[in-house]
Structure formats: structure tokens, C-alpha cells
């Protein structure tokens, strides 16, 4: 069939052969390129499964030795090789919670300012400046926290907190003990500064996606800016905001260097947020290269596994929520 | 509403505070020596030459490894499998990797490279950083290729260009600024990363650019020096911190400018 068509055009057979060869080569190139890109995409999946497999296999010795107790045991004693993860887990959760407690309202406020109140000409520069906060490497927050922020808190803020809450029944437990400067409160505050840009930029993006008609209608019936945000913007963007908050939480949970500098690395659970503590990532960063013995190393990897599982769940929820709002916006 | 103004001032205040202290502390230690001398033992003079070289090596290798893989994966997602199952799974997993704790990446590379090889090495550090580069590049490549108008693709197809050539010659060219932005952002991200290097590249007081041995890098040296009790080491840590921050901020500003020009044209 092809041959008939070819003779019809009067082309020489050799020419056709060479053309077919070129076409074959192009087809081959296309096939190779397609499969190359496919392989790269699959590699992304392999990396994630590799991370999970490596962490699980690395933490097997510890999990076999301690079983479920690993999760609830407070002791962390390299000498007797008794390890338990509850203190770092507790520290991770408390510092992240503190961070979110501060960063969520502030982040939402900034997003609100940027979308509703800020003069147009200032919006971009302020937005960029806030995002630059996200660009500063975490080790910079760490060194700044250790040398500047922690001493400041120790001298001025923490004594005030202790005096202020010292006589309040339940709250006094939270602010017990000497002002060390370093500790869970300091770590939480630094984490708050670090996740602030994530929450701000995502909330700003979803706030901007609110149809202007809705807002104008609300303004039209005499709502104040606050009422518009409270009753129109926030309900409309709820899912996206929660997604952004979860994304920030994922960051806070896994943040390592800044926390390592200021947490104090003490393997104990204290009710007071002024006390030094430790987090999962800080423990790994501090102790991994010095860990002697398989059980010690394995326990640290098991901590890493716990951290990965927690952040995986939080991030998966965040992505799911953000995906939902993306679909709605279209 | 005054509150939201206060919140913004609060957010910007931190930026000013951190950068201010950094400039103040870092600049006083900044001199030519920092770039020409090796890290000193405590109590004597020195610079940051070996960690700077180490960081440059690690970063460029990580980008060299991570960018092609990330671009290819992003290409598959945007060009070949835009609507298939694999793409949506990869996109989800990639987003998770994008914000996964970097210390876990370090543990992973320790398990697959450092432990089997029996020693810490620069290669392990570069691979750890590459694993952080990949998701960033995948994400931007996919996003940017999706923005390329389909009319360009159809025009290429109508003159008989095979798909692979269409992607390489047309789509990549149209998305060039965006993809480059992604790579720059990835560089900015990894040049400050410390956690994944702690137990892969480790540190090396004596310089050397041997990728098969432990190699020093700026962030790890800052970590070590800042936590040391020696004043001159702490001083160097501040200077190193200033160098990193300026680099990172410059990179992200350039990336932003690039993205802005890309959008206009």
C-alpha cells in the first residue's frame, strides 16, 4: 500500500529508504525520551518508598528490642542502652503547638492585611519581604536564636512570665522553673517565625481567590472589613486555610537546625514550657554521629521513622485539603 | 483591623531584626582572609576557605544530579502523562517530598550510602542535597510546562516534529525562564541546608576537595563553630551565616525577578 503511494509520487526508492530510516530514528528517539521521562517520574516514587524502607529496616533492631514500649518510655540512656521516644515526641508536639498557636493568628492577620487593607503599591513588597523570611536558612534562625533571642528572653521576657503567672493556679505549672533562655518556649517562638511565611502566603493566595462579587455584596450591605473577613472570606476559604496551616505544621514538626540550637537537648518531659527539652529532629541531629553501638543508632533511626510518619500524615492531609480548594477555584 | 496592621509589622520586624543582627555581627568579621584561609584551630586566625569550596562543590554536584532527573520527571507529568494515574500519584508524593523533614533525607542517605560504604563522604552529601533538589525542580518544571500554550505544541506537530523534539526545542524554550527560576530556588534551598549533611558529608577540618572523603560545608561549620565555646570560632560562624544568607537572599531575589520577567513576556 505504501509502495504504491510512493511510486505514485515518483520518488526514488533509495530516497524513500533513507527517509524511512530518519523517521525510524526519530520514532526511536521519541520512544527513548518518553521512557526516560517516565523512568524519572517513577524514580520519585522509588525515592519515597526507599526512604520508608530504609527507615523501617534501620529501626528494626530498636523496635525488636523495645517493642511498643519504645513509644511510651521516657528513659533515654545510651550507657545502659535503654531508649524510649516519648520525651522527643512530646517536645516535638509541644514546640510545634506553641509555634502554631502564635503563627496561625498572626499569619492570618497578615494575609488579611495584604488582601483587604494594604495599599496596592505596598502589597507586593510586603508580600515579598514576608516570603524572604521563608528563604532564610534554618541554621541562621538557630544561630540568631542562640546568641540573640534566647538571652533576650532570659533577661526580659521569661522573668516577667514567671512573675505574671506565678500565682495563677494552673498556668503557673506552665511557667515554672528558672529562666534558662533556651528551652521549649524559645524553640516554639523561633518555629513560629519560621512557619509564619508559609501560613501567610498560602492564606493570602486563597483569600485572593474569593470572588470579588461576594465581598462587594457584603460591603454593600454595610459590613465592616472585619465582618467581611470573618463571615465571607474565612468561611469561603476555610479548607485552603486549614491546608496552609497543616503545611506549616509539617514544617514545624520536621524543623531541625533552628530547634537544635535553642531546645537544650534534655531527654525529659517537663510541664513547664520554660524548661529545656528535646525534639525528635534535634535528638537525631545532636546524637547521630556520636551514637555508639547498633542499638543506639537504630533507636535514632526509629525516631526518624516516627517523625516521618507524623509529618507524612500531616502533609498528606494538607495536600488533600489544598487540592480540594484548587479544584473548586478551577 | 489595627491588629492586622500590627501583625504585619510584627512579621516584618523579625526580618529586620534577624538581618540587622546578622549584618552587624557578620560584617565585622568579614575580610579577605575569610575567603583565602582554612578553618583555624581554636585560638588562632583563619578563614572559611575549605567550607566555602566544600559548599560550592556539594551544591553544584547536587544540582547536576538533581536537575536532569527533576526536569525529566516534570516533563513526563506535563507532556506525556498529563492526565494519567501515574502523574497524579507522582504529584502527590512529590509534594510530600517537597516538605518532608530534611533530616530524614539525611538518615536515608546514611542508610543507603554511608553505612554500606563504611565512611562518610562528599558524594553522600551531594546525593542527600540532590534528593532535596529533585522535588523542587519537578514541581516547577511541571507547572511551567503546563503554562506553555497548546497552540505551540500543535504548530510543532503540524510541521511533523516528533514529540521529543517538540518538547526539547519548543516547550523547554518557552518554559526556560520558569524552569531556571525553579533551579535557582532549589539552589537557594540547599545552600543553607544543614541537617542532611550532618551525617552524610560530615565535616573535614583539613580542607581538601576529595568527594570520596568527608568534606566540610558552610552550614555544618557554622553549626559546629556556633555551638563551640571559643569566641573566634563563634565570630567565624556569624561571618559564615552572613555569607550564606546573602547568597540565599540574592538567589531568591534573582529567581523572583526572573519569574516576573517570564510572566510579562
Of chain A residues 15-74, which have a CB less than 8 A from chain B?
A: 26-27, 29-30, 32-34, 36-45, 47-48, 50-51, 54-55, 57-58
- What is the nearest CA distance from B162 to chain A, expressed in angstroms? 7
Q: Residues A45, A73: one domain?
A: no
Average pLDDT over residues B251-257: 87
CATH number at residue A170: 1.10.3720.10
Are A127 and A35 contained in the same domain?
Answer: no
> In chain A, which residue's Cα lies nearest the Cα of B164?
A30
Residue B259 is predicted with a pLDDT of 79
Q: What is the pLDDT of residue B255?
A: 87
Residue A3, pLDDT above cutoff 80: no
Which residue of A43, A126, A315 is in closest CB contact with B73? A43
pLDDT for the residue numbered A1 = 43
Domain identity same for A51 and A100: no
| pLDDT-based confidence at residue A4 (cuts at 50, 70, 90) | very low
Tell me, yes or no, whether A61 and A102 share the same domain. no
Do A93 and A109 fall within a single domain? Answer: yes
Q: Does B130 touch chain A (CB under 8 A)?
A: no
pLDDT digits (tens, 9 = 90+) for B168-223: 999 999 999 889 999 998 999 899 889 999 988 888 877 667 888 888 899 999 99
ipTM: 0.90
Shared domain for A125 and A261, answered yes or no, is yes
> Of A33, A65, A97, which marks where a domain is finished?
A65
A32 and A92 assigned to the same domain: no
Asked whether residue A310 falls in the same domain as residue A208, the answer is yes
3-state SS, A84-102, equals CCHHHHHHHHHHHHHHHHH
The DSSP code sequence of A266-299 is --S--S-TTS----HHHHHHHHGGG--SHHHHHH
Share of chain A above pLDDT 70, in %: 96
Check: CB of residue A86 under 8 Å from CB of residue A72.
Answer: yes
Q: Report the pLDDT value the prediction gives residue A194, as an integer from 0 to 100.
A: 92
Grid coordinates of A210: 474569593
Looking at the structure, do residues A35 and A47 belong to the same domain, yes or no? Answer: yes
Nearest to A36 among B1, B6, B72 (CB): B72
Is-contact A184 A273, C-beta < 8 A?
yes
Q: Which of B242, B72, B21 is nearest to A139 (CA)?
A: B242
Predicted local distance difference test score (pLDDT) of residue A329? 63
Domain endpoint, select from A65, A92, A109: A65
Distances (CA, A) of B233 to B14, B56, B193, B214, B239: 26, 21, 20, 20, 10
Pick the last residue of a domain from A65, A94, A119: A65
Model confidence at A32: pLDDT above 70 = yes
Give how far A313 is from chain B: nearest CA, Å: 9
Mean pLDDT of A161-189: 84
Q: How many domains does chain A have?
A: 2
Range of the domain at A22: 2-65
CA distance A75 to chain B (A): 23
Widest distance between CA atoms in chain A: 103
**Residue B245 banded pLDDT, cuts 50, 70, 90:** very high
How high does pLDDT run on average in chain A? 88
Looking at the fold, whether A51 and A103 belong to one and the same domain comes out as no
Matching residue, cell 583555624? B40
pLDDT at A281: 93
pLDDT tens for A34-46 read: 999 999 999 999 9
Residue A141 and residue A217 share a domain: yes
pLDDT at B9: 87
Q: Are residues A189 and A85 in the same domain?
A: yes
Q: Could you tell me if A325 lies within 8 Å of chain B, comparing CB atoms? A: no
Q: What is the mean pLDDT of residues B22-45?
A: 84
Angle of helix A120-135 versus helix B2-27 axis, rounded to 10: 50
**Chain CA centroid to CA A107, Å:** 15
CA A206 to chain centre: 18
Q: Model confidence over A256-294: pLDDT tens digits? A: 999 999 998 888 888 888 888 999 999 999 998 888 888
Amino acid at each position: 500500500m505504501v509502495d504504491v503511494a510512493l511510486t505514485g509520487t515518483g520518488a526514488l526508492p533509495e530516497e524513500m529508504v533513507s527517509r524511512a530510516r530518519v523517521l525510524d530514528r526519530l520514532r526511536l528517539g521519541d520512544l527513548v525520551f518518553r521512557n526516560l521521562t517516565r523512568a524519572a517520574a517513577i524514580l520519585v516514587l522509588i525515592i519515597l518508598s526507599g526512604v520508608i524502607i530504609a527507615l523501617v529496616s534501620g529501626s528494626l533492631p530498636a523496635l525488636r528490642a523495645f517493642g511498643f514500649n519504645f513509644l511510651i518510655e521516657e528513659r533515654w540512656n545510651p550507657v545502659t542502652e535503654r531508649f524510649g521516644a516519648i520525651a522527643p515526641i512530646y517536645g516535638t508536639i509541644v514546640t510545634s503547638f506553641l509555634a502554631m498557636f502564635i503563627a496561625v493568628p498572626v499569619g492570618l492577620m497578615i494575609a488579611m492585611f495584604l488582601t483587604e487593607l494594604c495599599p496596592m503599591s505596598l502589597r507586593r513588597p510586603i508580600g515579598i519581604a514576608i516570603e524572604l523570611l521563608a528563604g532564610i536558612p534554618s541554621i541562621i534562625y538557630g544561630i540568631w536564636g542562640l546568641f540573640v533571642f534566647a538571652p533576650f528572653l532570659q533577661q526580659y521576657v521569661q522573668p516577667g512570665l514567671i512573675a505574671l503567672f506565678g500565682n495563677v493556679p494552673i498556668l503557673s505549672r506552665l511557667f515554672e522553673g528558672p529562666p534558662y533562655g533556651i528551652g521549649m518556649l524559645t524553640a516554639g517562638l523561633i518555629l513560629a517565625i519560621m512557619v509564619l511565611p508559609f501560613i501567610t502566603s498560602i492564606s493570602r493566595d486563597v483569600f485572593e481567590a474569593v470572588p470579588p462579587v461576594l465581598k462587594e455584596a457584603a460591603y454593600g450591605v454595610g459590613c465592616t472589613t472585619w465582618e467581611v473577613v470573618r463571615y465571607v472570606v474565612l468561611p469561603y476559604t476555610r479548607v485552603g486555610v486549614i491546608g496552609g496551616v497543616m503545611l506549616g505544621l509539617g514544617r514545624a514538626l520536621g524543623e531541625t537546625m533552628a530547634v537544635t540550637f535553642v531546645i537544650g537537648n534534655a531527654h525529659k518531659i517537663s510541664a513547664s514550657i520554660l524548661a529545656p527539652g528535646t525534639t525528635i529532629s534535634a535528638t537525631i541531629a545532636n546524637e547521630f554521629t556520636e551514637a555508639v553501638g547498633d542499638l543506639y543508632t537504630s533507636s535514632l533511626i526509629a525516631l526518624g521513622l516516627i517523625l516521618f510518619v507524623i509529618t507524612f500524615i500531616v502533609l498528606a492531609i494538607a495536600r488533600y485539603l489544598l487540592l480540594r480548594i484548587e479544584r473548586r477555584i478551577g | 483591623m489595627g491588629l492586622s496592621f500590627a501583625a504585619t509589622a510584627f512579621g516584618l520586624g523579625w526580618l529586620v531584626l534577624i538581618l540587622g543582627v546578622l549584618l552587624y555581627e557578620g560584617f565585622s568579621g568579614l575580610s579577605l582572609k575569610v575567603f583565602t584561609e582554612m578553618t583555624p584551630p581554636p585560638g588562632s586566625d583563619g578563614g572559611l576557605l575549605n567550607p566555602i569550596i566544600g559548599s560550592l562543590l556539594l551544591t553544584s554536584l547536587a544540582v547536576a544530579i538533581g536537575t536532569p532527573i527533576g526536569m525529566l520527571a516534570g516533563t513526563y507529568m506535563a507532556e506525556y502523562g498529563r492526565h494519567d494515574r501515574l502523574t497524579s500519584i507522582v504529584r502527590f508524593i512529590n509534594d510530600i517530598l517537597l516538605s518532608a523533614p530534611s533530616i530524614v533525607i539525611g538518615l536515608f542517605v546514611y542508610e543507603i550510602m554511608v553505612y554500606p560504604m563504611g565512611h562518610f563522604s562528599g558524594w553522600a552529601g551531594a546525593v542527600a542535597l540532590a534528593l532535596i533538589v529533585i522535588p523542587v525542580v519537578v514541581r516547577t518544571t511541571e507547572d511551567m510546562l503546563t503554562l506553555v500554550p497548546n497552540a505551540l505544541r500543535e504548530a510543532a506537530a503540524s510541521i511533523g516534529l516528533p514529540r521529543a523534539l517538540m518538547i526539547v526545542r519548543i516547550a523547554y524554550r518557552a518554559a526556560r525562564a520558569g524552569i531556571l527560576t525553579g533551579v535557582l530556588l532549589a539552589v537557594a534551598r540547599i545552600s543553607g541546608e544543614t541537617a542532611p549533611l550532618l551525617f552524610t558529608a560530615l565535616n573535614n577540618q583539613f580542607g581538601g576537595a576529595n568527594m570520596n572523603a568527608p568534606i566540610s560545608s558552610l552550614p555544618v561549620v557554622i553549626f559546629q563553630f556556633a555551638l563551640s565555646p571559643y569566641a573566634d570560632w563563634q565570630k567565624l560562624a556569624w561571618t559564615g551565616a552572613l555569607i550564606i544568607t546573602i547568597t540565599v537572599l540574592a538567589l531568591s531575589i534573582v529567581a523572583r525577578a526572573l519569574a516576573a520577567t517570564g510572566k510579562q513576556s
